[in-house]
Structure 1
Amino acid sequence: MDVKLSSLFRPMDLVVGSVNAVVVISWTLVQWELRMRDVQGLNEDLGWIMMAVSIVALFFRSAFPLAVTLVILAATLVYYPASSTDGPMMSAFVISLYTLAAMGRLVAASVIAASTFAIIVVSEVIANFAHISQSETIMLGGWIVAVPAIGAVVAHYRRYRAETRVALAEAQRRSVAEERIRIARELHDAVGHHLSLINVQTAAALRKLRKDPEYRAEGVLEVVAETSRQSLRELRAMVGVLREAGADSPTGPGPSLDQLPSLVDAARASGLEVELRVDGHAELPVAVDAAAYRVVQEALTNVLRHARASRVRVKVVIGTTTLAVAVTDDGVGDAKGANAEGNGLTGMRERAEGLGGTFNAGPREDGGFTVEAAWPMEVPK
């Protein structure tokens, strides 16, 4: 029951309807008592009934805007010939007409306003302007025509505000989704790489121990320990970024091509022969620097996990306008780990193309696999 009443009576409708009722009734009663009357009305009782209908109908202006406007218009047109008291009956019609236009029913409001204007002018011309003067007739008609225009402006503003809210909500949802993808990519590239190295090292050590129980694994354990420390540092950095602003967060330096030597050393410790070549030197945009490092890191991870390669060549070319990286292996396996693009290649492509760069990966004709990416030095805004 409460839901039905709330859909019929909105708080503002109750306020507006009550104020209109008080003004119309009190004004009309004062005029009646002071004998401030125009020409003799045709039916005073009918006039009072039409006034009551108009007052009550206005309370439903938001629930039934078109029906209320038509009912009040009909009651107003009947009231003035029937009553000898020229009260502010027109106020309810003006309010309902404005409401109709403000709720987006501009065509209906315009047709009703134009029809009302024609009725007022024609009726006063026929009556030889017995009720109001010519200037007052034109002024009243002008106000009636202007009401839908005012309502249209309000309707446009409401639509704009609603569309802005939707756009902001959509932008927020998109931002959250993009941030989730970014975090997932960071976890996959950084932590996944270190865990892959640890897995390769421990698996190799276990195989050697099975063959030779006297095998000393100190070197392997040192590499595993160092790789674990690097993984923990990267995890702490990511957790620090996710903390609230102002909190102490050990974010540390971000990934950079300057860290390639240690990355290559870890891959070599896993038994892979890695050649690193860097041509050129320049100050790189932070985002491009980090993306290039992650691409090389993920490419090496894929080689260790899937390629069954013995040699890998990592080449970095830093030009004046472009940064390019390439990772080429001599493996016989599928360096992308699956027939379709997995998270690794997808993440690398996103890192390249997301900064206006290019990405290409695929098997070579003479065997092995190549991953290539390039970025412009100026990151698009």
Structure 2
Amino acid sequence: MLHRFSISRMDLLVGVVNAVIVLSWTSAQWVMRIQDTQGLNESLSWAMLFVSVAVLFYRSRFPLTVTLATMVCTIVYYPASSTDGPMLLAFVIALYTLAALGHLVAAGVIAAVVFLTVVISEVLSDFAHMTESETIMLGGWIIAVPAIGAVVAHYRRYRAETAVALAETQLRSVAEERLRIARELHDAVGHHLSLINVQTAAALRKLRKDPLYRTEETLQVIADTSQLSLRELRAMVGVLREPGEDSPTGPGPSLEQLPSLVAAARASGLEVELRVDGSAALPVAVDAAAYRVVQESLTNVLRHAKAKRVQVKVVTGTSTLAVAVIDDGLGDPKGAKAGNGLTGMRERAESLGGTFTAGPRDDGGFSVEATWPLEVDR
């Protein structure tokens, strides 16, 4: 139970400083017989002084209670004591703390009550204890203290909200980065593994039919594809290990690599027609996204469509890049709607302000079309 009443370091420091100032100042006045007016009850005044000094040590844990206690002690002390010391300091600190911790309504009400008490009592006593200017100055300080505390409270709230917003932004960035890495792995490594799977399955079928079938050409295609897959995987791992601008990331995916991509698809037995119209300096993000869309589309054709022919079109206009992959396969590739392929392609297009459509064609087959604006961050 004792830990509930522990004193923080800041409260301890403030309490000690207040105690030293109030007790030493008041004791010095008492010893030197410096008196303001005859007090009503000296014993009561000293009791109120010690109580206000003691309770201030718990100002942060019980801000409202400490403020009310110091207010009562202050109101009782000055009429009861003949020594006009800085006993008011404990109440000022407690009132500021109450406002700074966000209890603005309570701090305002207490400040108003004390202000009215001081002003009315002095007016009724014809300013026997303070002059008019001193009364106005004291009242101004009583109002200013919770106002300063309110500013501090608003600043603390702003910092807390900023910290929360920053944490949410960081979490969102991490999620987006994980999604980007998942897309890259799916599109790059997944494509090469699909080619290897198709080549291996085709070679096994031919070996079952003809045990003397020579597999050197197929194995060479598999070796080249796996080497390319390992190269892309190493590049991605390198980026993850050294996430700086000067990290050796190697050449990124680009439409300039389409000929080698088409050649790998042709080696799998697919008849691929590549048509490129127009040219322009493409933003890096658009260039990479367009390549990945074509790559994933060819992967889906090889894995699901059972197509014989596929046409790849790349058209670069004055303000738009468009790609299309059209095959003569089943028209509704198995898993195309439920898998990650089409979802990833749509995200690659729409995240850069582009469009994406995919679906069966009326005359058979399946088509994938995507467009991007050329005016994006490079």
TM-score normalised per structure 2:
0.97
1:184 corresponds in structure 2 to 182
1:277 corresponds in structure 2 to 275
Which of the numbers 326, 329, 354 marks the counterpart of 1:328? 326
Secondary structure of the residue aligned to 2:93 is helix
Contact 1:307–1:334 (8 Å) recurs in 2: yes
Measured against aligned partners, the alpha-carbon deviations of 1:112-170 in whole angstroms (never above 9, x if no partner) come to: 11111110000111111111111000000001100111111111111111112112222
Secondary structure of the residue aligned to 2:367 is strand
**Distance across 2 between alignment mates of 1:255 and 1:339:** 23
Q: How does 1:180-259 map to 2 (within 5 A)?
A: 180-244=178-242, 251-259=249-257
Which of the numbers 355, 358, 369 marks the counterpart of 2:355? 358
Contact 1:102–1:151 (8 Å) recurs in 2: yes
Once the two structures are TM-superposed, the CA of residue 340 in structure 1 deviates from its matched residue by 3.8
**Distance across 1 between alignment mates of 2:245 and 2:369:** 39
CA shift in 2, pair 1:175/1:245, >3 Å = closer
2:298 corresponds in structure 1 to 300
**Distance across 1 between alignment mates of 2:100 and 2:354:** 49
Which of the numbers 145, 148, 153 marks the counterpart of 2:146? 148
Contact 2:276–2:314 (8 Å) recurs in 1: yes
1:376 corresponds in structure 2 to 373
Which of the numbers 31, 35, 38 marks the counterpart of 1:37? 35
TM-score normalised per structure 1:
0.96
CA shift in 2, pair 1:3/1:302, >3 Å = farther
Once the two structures are TM-superposed, the CA of residue 176 in structure 1 deviates from its matched residue by 1.4
Could you list the structure 1 runs, at least 4 aligned residues long, displaced by more than 4 angstroms after superposition: 245-250
One-letter amino acid matched to 2:282: L
**Distance across 2 between alignment mates of 1:5 and 1:151:** 24
**Distance across 1 between alignment mates of 2:247 and 2:92:** 62
CA shift in 2, pair 1:248/1:52, >3 Å = closer
1:314 corresponds in structure 2 to 312
One-letter amino acid matched to 2:347: E
CA shift in 2, pair 1:341/1:66, >3 Å = same
Does 2:98 align with 1:100? Answer: yes
1:343 corresponds in structure 2 to 340
Secondary structure of the residue aligned to 2:321 is strand
Measured against aligned partners, the alpha-carbon deviations of 1:302-354 in whole angstroms (never above 9, x if no partner) come to: 1111111111111111001000001111111633x327432111111111111
Contact 2:331–2:364 (8 Å) recurs in 1: no
Once the two structures are TM-superposed, the CA of residue 246 in structure 1 deviates from its matched residue by 6.9
**Distance across 2 between alignment mates of 1:2 and 1:230:** 67
Once the two structures are TM-superposed, the CA of residue 247 in structure 1 deviates from its matched residue by 11
Contact 1:237–1:249 (8 Å) recurs in 2: no
1:267 corresponds in structure 2 to 265
Secondary structure of the residue aligned to 2:330 is coil
* Percent of residue pairs identical: 75
Contact 2:96–2:145 (8 Å) recurs in 1: yes
Measured against aligned partners, the alpha-carbon deviations of 1:339-370 in whole angstroms (never above 9, x if no partner) come to: 74321111111111111111111111222111
2:284 corresponds in structure 1 to 286
Structure 2: give runs of 5+ residues left out of the alignment. none
Once the two structures are TM-superposed, the CA of residue 252 in structure 1 deviates from its matched residue by 2.0
One-letter amino acid matched to 1:30: A
**Distance across 2 between alignment mates of 1:213 and 1:249:** 49
Secondary structure of the residue aligned to 2:111 is helix
1:4 corresponds in structure 2 to 4
**Distance across 2 between alignment mates of 1:263 and 1:105:** 67
Measured against aligned partners, the alpha-carbon deviations of 1:65-121 in whole angstroms (never above 9, x if no partner) come to: 111111110111011111111111110011001001101111111111111111000
**Distance across 1 between alignment mates of 2:154 and 2:99:** 10
CA shift in 2, pair 1:191/1:98, >3 Å = same
Once the two structures are TM-superposed, the CA of residue 239 in structure 1 deviates from its matched residue by 1.4
Contact 1:201–1:270 (8 Å) recurs in 2: yes
Contact 1:323–1:374 (8 Å) recurs in 2: yes
User: Which range moved further: 133-142 or 160-169?
Assistant: 160-169
Contact 2:314–2:324 (8 Å) recurs in 1: yes
CA shift in 2, pair 1:248/1:41, >3 Å = closer
**Distance across 2 between alignment mates of 1:185 and 1:209:** 35
Secondary structure of the residue aligned to 2:363 is coil
Does 2:24 align with 1:26? Answer: yes
Contact 1:308–1:333 (8 Å) recurs in 2: no
Secondary structure of the residue aligned to 2:288 is helix
State the Cα RMSD in Å: 1.6
Structure 1: give runs of 5+ residues left out of the alignment. none
One-letter amino acid matched to 1:325: V
Contact 1:28–1:87 (8 Å) recurs in 2: yes
